[in-house]
Chains A and B, each alone.
Chain A
Amino acid sequence: MAPPDARLEEPHTTDAFVPDLYRVEAVRRELSDTVTLELAPISGTRPAYAPGQFNMLYAFGVGEIAISISGNHESGNRFIHTVRDVGAVSGAICRSAPGDVLGLRGPFGVGWPVAAAEGSDVMFVAGGLGLAPLRPAILEVLENRARYDRVAILFGTRNPADMLFRHQLESWRQRLDIEVEVTVDHADPDWHGHVGVVPGLIPHVMFDPAETVAFVCGPEVMMRFTATALTAAGVASERIHLSMERNMKCAIGICGHCQFGPDFVCKDGPVMRYDRIAEILALREI
Chain B
Amino acid sequence: MHGLDVTLEEHPFFAGFSPDQNRIVSGCARNHKFDAGHYLFREGDPANEFFLIRHGRVALEIVSPGQAPVVIATLGKGEIVGASWLVPPYRWMFDARAVELTRAIGIDAACLRGKCDADAQLGYEMMKRFLPVLVKRLNATRLQLLDVYGKR
Pairing of A with B:
yes
A contacts, CB < 8 Å to B? 33, 84, 86, 127-129, 156-158, 162, 183, 185-189, 191-197, 199-200, 203-204, 218-219, 221-222, 225
With a CB–CB cut-off of 8 A, which chain A residues contact B99? 192
Residues of A within 8 A of B147 (CB): 158, 185
Contact across chains for A195 and B69 when beta carbons are under 8 A apart: no
**Which residue of chain B lies nearest to A222 when distances are taken between CB atoms in the complex?**
B148
B148 touches A127 (CB 8 A): yes
Bound state CA distance, A156 and B140, in angstroms? 12
Q: Given A189-B59, A189-B97, A192-B99, are A197 and B152 neighbors across the interface (CB < 8 Å)?
A: no
Contacts of A186 in B (CB 8 A): 70-72, 144
Partner-A contacts on B (CB < 8 A): 57, 59, 61, 68-74, 76, 78, 97, 99-100, 139-140, 143-144, 146-152
Contact A195 B74 (CB under 8 A): yes
Q: In the bound complex, what is the Cα–Cα distance between A259 and B79 (angstroms)?
A: 42
The verdict on A158 contacting B149 (CB below 8 Å), with A197-B140, A197-B143, A225-B143 known, is yes
Contact between B72 and A195 (Cβ–Cβ < 8 Å)?
Answer: yes
A-B contact pairs, 15 of them (CB 8 A): A127-B149, A157-B149, A158-B150, A183-B74, A185-B144, A185-B147, A189-B61, A191-B71, A193-B74, A195-B59, A196-B73, A197-B143, A197-B144, A204-B76, A221-B148
CA distance A196 to B136 in the complex (A): 11
- Please indicate the chain B residues that have their CB under 8 angstroms from the CB of A156 in the complex: 149
Ranked 6 nearest A-B pairs via Cβ: A128-B149, A219-B148, A158-B149, A195-B74, A187-B71, A195-B71
Task: Decide if B146 touches A221 in the complex (CB within 8 Å).
Answer: yes
Interface pair B73/A195, CB less than 8 Å apart: yes
Tell me the bound Cα distance from A191 to B59 in angstroms: 10
A196/B144 contact (C-beta < 8 A), A86-B152, A186-B70, A188-B69 known? yes
Give CA–CA (A157, B147) in the complex, Å. 10
Judging by beta carbons under 8 Å apart, are B70 and A188 in contact?
yes
Q: Looking across the interface, which residue of chain B has its beta carbon closest to that of A164?
A: B149
Which residues of A lie under 8 Å from residue B57 when comparing CB positions?
Answer: 194
